[in-house]
Amino acid sequence: MAFDLSRKVLERAARLVHAAMPPTPQLSWPLLSQRAGCEVWVKHENHTATGAFKIRGGIVMIDALKRAEPKLAGVVSATRGNHGQSLAWSGRRHGVRTVIVVPQGNSRDKNAAMRAWGAELVEHGRDFDEAKDHAAKLAREQGLQSIGPFHPELVAGVGSYAFELFSAVADLDAVYVPIGCGSGISGLIAWRDALGLKTKIVGVVSENADCYALSFESNALIETPSALTFADGMAVRVPVPAALDIIRAGAERIVRVSDDEVKAAVRYYYSDTHNLIEGAGAAPLAALLKEKPKSGRFAVIASGGNIDREAYLAVLSG
């Protein structure tokens, strides 16, 4: 798959995104900075219409497919929730049938949100990777356009949040970003490079789903037998090769965080900013607090706020 992430491509994607949705805020919360012992900026991707950064990729992806095939029969994709919401939101906007496959036991709230945006929801498989295989099967059987979790249009679209962040906050030493399938961190790297910045990009994974960390460290694609983590947005067993190439070339390092560290970060977001943040969205803050830089200016990507009520209440109760 050819990846053109030139500045021209990134700027065109950003224009498409901003024609459909407003930029999200980046805020520096005093209590959070006090807790971290350094200046911390939060990129609030929990403030989008679907509650997560993925909406940006869906806007650009569906636009590209409709231009290429005006009579598009429909699309199908696998997700744990945020990617599916983005496709359903954009599919409804363009009148495109959207079929979404989720694994058994997926978040009830995310499932409900995808249905509300108009997705036809199919539950199949024990995890994301099995759901992904079933989505490919449905694409063949029903003549649907299969959309994977990682594609040039998706990366260019979600990268628009990086443009907003870098335009608003100068001289960032590093940005901490969660890694699911890799579109978010790839968009950050692409815009960092396009703008000629020296900001370091730090990926964050769950220690229970660390295929990207293992692959990054060993310079080989390594799958894990399971990906059981509270941070379901990072619950991936198999790295995407194209994403891994971008991360290897442009990321400074990848930090592993535990479920307990992520849950603590969810609580800190509530106590210090009164924001609802899901597990994957809290993981970058968990990583920053784990590394404890002595000084500097840092950003963390709060990639989404879609967490089930029961899980959130359990986390807040400690």
Q: Which amino acid is at 249?
A: A
Q: Which residue ranges form the domains of the chain, and what is each CATH number?
A: 7-51+153-316 (3.40.50.1100), 55-151 (3.40.50.1100)
In whole angstroms, how far apart are CA 271 and each of 31, 151, 204, 261? 9, 36, 22, 15
Q: In the Cβ-directed half-sphere of 74, how many Cα atoms lie within 13 Å? A: 18
306 pLDDT above the threshold of 70: yes
**Across 217-245, average pLDDT:** 92
Give me the pLDDT at residue 192, please. 98
CB 166 within 8 A of CB 191: yes
Give me the chain's average pLDDT, please.
95
Give me the pLDDT at residue 149, please. 85
**Across 287-315, average pLDDT:** 96
1 pLDDT above the threshold of 60: no
Mind listing the pLDDT tens digit for each residue in 136-147?
999 999 999 999
d(CA 59, CA 194): 21
Mind listing the pLDDT tens digit for each residue in 102-112?
999 998 888 99
Beta-carbon contacts of 67 under 8 Å, excluding residues fewer than 6 positions away, are none
Mind listing the pLDDT tens digit for each residue in 167-200?
999 999 999 999 999 999 999 999 999 999 999 9
Q: What is the pTM of this model?
A: 0.95
Instruction: Quickly state the pLDDT bin for 129 (edges 50, 70, 90).
Output: confident
- Which range among 12-16, 72-76, 129-133, 156-160 shows the weakest confidence by mean pLDDT? 129-133
Mind listing the pLDDT tens digit for each residue in 31-51?
999 999 999 999 999 999 999
